[in-house]
Chain A
Amino acid sequence: MSESKPTAAPPPKQVRTYQPTYQLNPKKRFDAEQIQKILQRVVSYELNEVEYSEKQIPELCLSLAETLRNAIKEENYNRYRIIVMVSIGQRRQQSVHIFHSFLWDHERDAFATFNYENCHLFANVVVYGVYLD
């Protein structure tokens, strides 16, 4: 028995075989509110009283993205692909606009965002969850 899709054949290099599950929807939908609470908790903790410094912020940005991704993986959203984007900038009386748009299945895919500010920097975190069956 091979991975079942009625209209496409299994890829030539497949080694694993699966029984079809006929499952059309994820068991646990991507819950934006719950994810936002996680973002709030982690980001406020990591960026509390942090100053903007050219050397440390790039690494902090990357490690924050990985921490968030791992925290969301703990939630066990089956069949979801996770994308985490973190932007950290220095506060200097400038104006920033961040805009996003997507082409996806709005019944199953969702996103969560969180904005954080302290007196030296601002941070914007967006997490997208995209379903694939």
Chain B
Amino acid sequence: MEVKECNDLSEENQFIVDDVSKIIKEAIENSIGGTAYQHNKVNQWTSAVVESCLGQLTKLQKPYKYIVTCTIMQKNGAGLHTASSCFWDNNTDGSCTVRWENKTMYCIVSVFGLGI
């Protein structure tokens, strides 16, 4: 029986924040890059951002489960705070949050990656 060395901290099994944040920024720019807030289009935009993020993440071909959350809020002078608390394994799991804004809206995208 052949036995291979399996190191948990190798490239395959680590959540690399930089790659993921690049992917998220591209996805946001491509879907809502130059647009102004429009109530009837927001649903479309949120699903477009999330679908494109997930698509790119699966192309990384890593043994990971992903959760992608996107929040779009109209700019109105109101405040918004988001916090998250997680119970997982720091070696294999990680998260990445990207905040983006333009003149009329804020967009916050969080990606959680959980190793299998």
Q: Which of B54, B74, B80 is within 8 Å of A101, CB to CB?
A: B54
Question: Are B73 and A102 closer than 8 Å at their CB atoms?
Answer: no
In the complex, A53→B47 CA distance in Å?
A: 31
The answer to whether A93 touches B76 (Cβ under 8 A) is yes
Binds B, one of A15-23, A30-38, A124-132: A124-132
Within the complex, the shortest CB–CB distance from B64 to chain A, in Å, comes to 8
B67 interfacial by beta-carbon distance below 8 Å: yes
Q: Using A65-B83, A66-B85 as known contacts, say yes or no to A95 and B73 having CB atoms under 8 A apart.
A: yes
A85: CB under 8 A from chain B?
yes
Other-chain contact of B7, A11, A90, A99 (Cβ < 8 Å) = A11
Do B87 and A100 touch (CB < 8 A)? no
Given A101-B50, A128-B67: A87 in contact with B82 (beta carbons within 8 A): yes
- A64 to B: closest C-beta gap in Å: 7
Partner of A132, one of B5, B57, B116: B116
Beta-carbon contact of A69 and B87 below 8 Å: yes
Q: Which of A98-114 contact B (CB under 8 A)?
A: 98-105, 109
Interface residue ranges of A60-92 to B (CB < 8 Å): 61-62, 64-66, 68-69, 73, 81-92
CB of B58 within 8 Å of the partner chain? yes
Residue numbers in B under 8 Å from A98 (CB-CB): 46, 69-71
> Which one of B6, B79, B84 contacts A11 once the chains associate, using CB atoms below 8 Å?
B6
Q: Are B78 and A89 in contact (CB under 8 A)?
A: yes
> Which residues of B are found within 8 Å of A132, using beta-carbon distances?
89, 114-116
The reply to whether A81 and B83 contact each other, CB–CB distance below 8 Å, is no
Tell me which residues across on chain A come within 8 A of B6, comparing CB atoms: 8-11
Question: Are A89 and B67 interface neighbours, CB within 8 A?
Answer: no
Inter-chain contacts of B43 with A (CB < 8 A) = 97, 99
Which residue numbers of A lie inside 8 Å of B, CB to CB?
A: 8-12, 52, 54, 57-58, 61-62, 64-66, 68-69, 73, 81-105, 109, 126, 128, 130, 132
Apart from the given pairs A81-B87, A103-B66, A126-B69, 16 other A-B contacts in the complex at a CB distance below 8 Å = A8-B4, A54-B79, A65-B84, A81-B86, A83-B85, A83-B112, A94-B78, A95-B42, A95-B73, A97-B71, A101-B67, A102-B66, A104-B67, A128-B112, A132-B89, A132-B116
Interface residues in chain B, defined as those with a beta carbon under 8 Å from any beta carbon in chain A: 3-8, 37, 39, 42-43, 46-47, 49-51, 54, 57-58, 65-89, 93, 95, 110, 112, 114-116
